[in-house]
Amino acid sequence: MNNHTHAAGHSRPPLSTTTPSEIASRLLAAPTSDAPGPVVITTHAKPDGDAAGSSLALARALIHKGVPAEVWHVGPFQGWLKTIAGDTPTRRISQDTPAASLSSALPSDASNEPRAIVVTDTGSWVQLETLTPWLKPRTQRVMVIDHHLQGDADLSPRRLVETTAASATQVLAPVIDALLGLRADEALPEPIARMLYLGLATDTGWFKFSNTSAAAMRLAARMIDSGVDHAGLYQLIDQQDAAVRPRLLGRALSSLRYFDENTIAFMALTGGDLRELSAGQEDTGGFAEPAMSVMSVRVVAVFTDATRAGDAQPTTKVSLRSKPGTNAIDVAAVCASLGGGGHARAAGVKLKMEIPQAQEAVLQALRMKRG
């Protein structure tokens, strides 16, 4: 994920329990009479580039093979998502849909019962909150394609998880090759390649984060050889901010505090900041970069008020980033100690407390974990 503010599960089941070719053959198999519907592909709420890219790429590859497929996205939705989805069948589900009314938001007749369900870019129930009541009775038909360390074993018996992959789309690429019968050096149809590139590019910060590997670069080169307009994608995804974004960044920067010889940087966006600027959660995220560019800084935490109207308790969303190198801080471990998760260099957690208390808790956890 680009925005790593998800909390992931604690259990660590064996990572991969299946192979790209097994997933492909299951997806190409004729449906059974009790589950004749399309393949449903879903991902974590608030889809980022990798979530959108992995889910849409797989749907396009299946449709290319004549297999009916649709993507289910759970909000909030970023502005570019509609453009990226194009005419690929996509169902948009509000993240606030209560469990009781979920079934009326979803196709319910038996002819629509999906033959298979694929979850991409997450393997954790907490990131699939809204869809959990629908997924729970169907886990035997779920397959997971992911690159996160955390995951829940009871989400699916079939998991394709590579934690060294830069993006879920990198894990997905061999599945698509198996579906389409392509070698790993052959061109892909451009609408599929564009989605694979999108996941790679956004999860590597446009090829500058430490997860940018030779394999990621090779896959990106193959996608560009397949005709992807990488400059157009950059403009669509990274230069589409609402006018309020720089103002919100100004608020975050003016809250900047350093700790421990300027090695730790904290920024905060309060509920007041969001209200005064008429900004929403969808306008936040990605604010760590300016503080990461400070030489002494090794870790940045951005705290955002995520309390929803009517919530009994305050919620603070914490997004952590750290720099690679000697004594690099494993922010996934820091977040895991607080109930969250993510990657070693980018992780997150949601804490049921006000921002000042959340900052105290994260500072303690950072001081405990650093070398």
Q: Considering only the stretches 49-57, 65-73, 137-145, 285-293, report the one whose residues sit in contact with Mn ion under the rule CB under 5 A.
A: 49-57
Spatial distance between the Cα atoms of 346 and 133, rounded to a whole number of angstroms: 29
167: three-class secondary structure by DSSP: coil
Closest separation in Å from C-beta 294 to Mn ion: 26
- Regarding 168 and contact with Mn ion (CB under 5 A), the answer is yes
Which helix (H) or strand (E) segment holds residue 177: the answer is helix 168-180
At 353, list the tokens: 């407390």
Residue 354 is which amino acid?
E
Spatial distance between the Cα atoms of 331 and 185, rounded to a whole number of angstroms: 35
10 Å Cβ neighbour count for 342?
27
Residue whose C-beta lies closest to Mn ion? 50
- Regarding 146 and contact with Mn ion (CB under 5 A), the answer is no
Q: Considering only the stretches 7-15, 74-82, 164-172, 252-260, report the one whose residues sit in contact with Mn ion under the rule CB under 5 A.
A: 164-172
Closest separation in Å from C-beta 166 to Mn ion: 8
Q: Total binding residues for Mn ion by CB under 5 A?
A: 5
- Regarding 161 and contact with Mn ion (CB under 5 A), the answer is no
Alpha helices in 181-229 (DSSP H): 190-203, 214-225
- Regarding 165 and contact with Mn ion (CB under 5 A), the answer is no
- Regarding 113 and contact with Mn ion (CB under 5 A), the answer is no
Q: Give the nearer residue to Mn ion in terms of CB position, either 38 or 53.
A: 53
- Interacting residue with Mn ion among 121, 152, 177, 273 (CB under 5 A): 121
Pairing relation of β-strands 142-146 and 117-120?
A: parallel
At 242, list the tokens: 């609402």
**Cβ–Cβ < 8 Å for 192, 179:** no
- Lay out the site mask for Mn ion across 190-219 (x = CB under 5 A, - = otherwise): -------------x----------------
Q: Give the nearer residue to Mn ion in terms of CB position, either 203 or 273.
A: 203
Q: Considering only the stretches 76-84, 130-138, 161-169, 226-234, report the one whose residues sit in contact with Mn ion under the rule CB under 5 A.
A: 161-169
- Regarding 1 and contact with Mn ion (CB under 5 A), the answer is yes
Residue 353 is which amino acid?
M
Q: Give the nearer residue to Mn ion in terms of CB position, either 131 or 365.
A: 131
Cis amide prior to 114 (ω within 30 degrees): no
10 Å Cβ neighbour count for 273?
20
**Cβ–Cβ < 8 Å for 166, 213:** yes
Q: Considering only the stretches 10-18, 26-34, 47-55, 137-145, report the one whose residues sit in contact with Mn ion under the rule CB under 5 A.
A: 47-55
Closest separation in Å from C-beta 75 to Mn ion: 18
Q: Give the nearer residue to Mn ion in terms of CB position, either 55 or 90.
A: 55
130: three-class secondary structure by DSSP: helix
Q: Considering only the stretches 10-18, 48-56, 67-75, 179-187, report the one whose residues sit in contact with Mn ion under the rule CB under 5 A.
A: 48-56
10 Å Cβ neighbour count for 15?
16
Q: Considering only the stretches 84-92, 113-121, 249-257, 270-278, report the one whose residues sit in contact with Mn ion under the rule CB under 5 A.
A: 113-121
**Cβ–Cβ < 8 Å for 188, 158:** no
What are φ and ψ of residue 141, in 5° steps?
Answer: -100, 5
Q: Give the nearer residue to Mn ion in terms of CB position, either 168 or 216.
A: 168
Q: Give the nearer residue to Mn ion in terms of CB position, either 1 or 279.
A: 1
341: three-class secondary structure by DSSP: strand
Q: Is the four-CA dihedral 34, 37, 41, 45 of positive or negative sign?
A: negative
- Regarding 50 and contact with Mn ion (CB under 5 A), the answer is yes
Q: Give the nearer residue to Mn ion in terms of CB position, either 168 or 192.
A: 168
Closest separation in Å from C-beta 47 to Mn ion: 10
Spatial distance between the Cα atoms of 217 and 211, rounded to a whole number of angstroms: 10
Q: Considering only the stretches 160-168, 256-264, 284-292, 342-350, report the one whose residues sit in contact with Mn ion under the rule CB under 5 A.
A: 160-168
Residues in contact with Mn ion by the rule CB under 5 A: 1, 50, 121, 168, 203
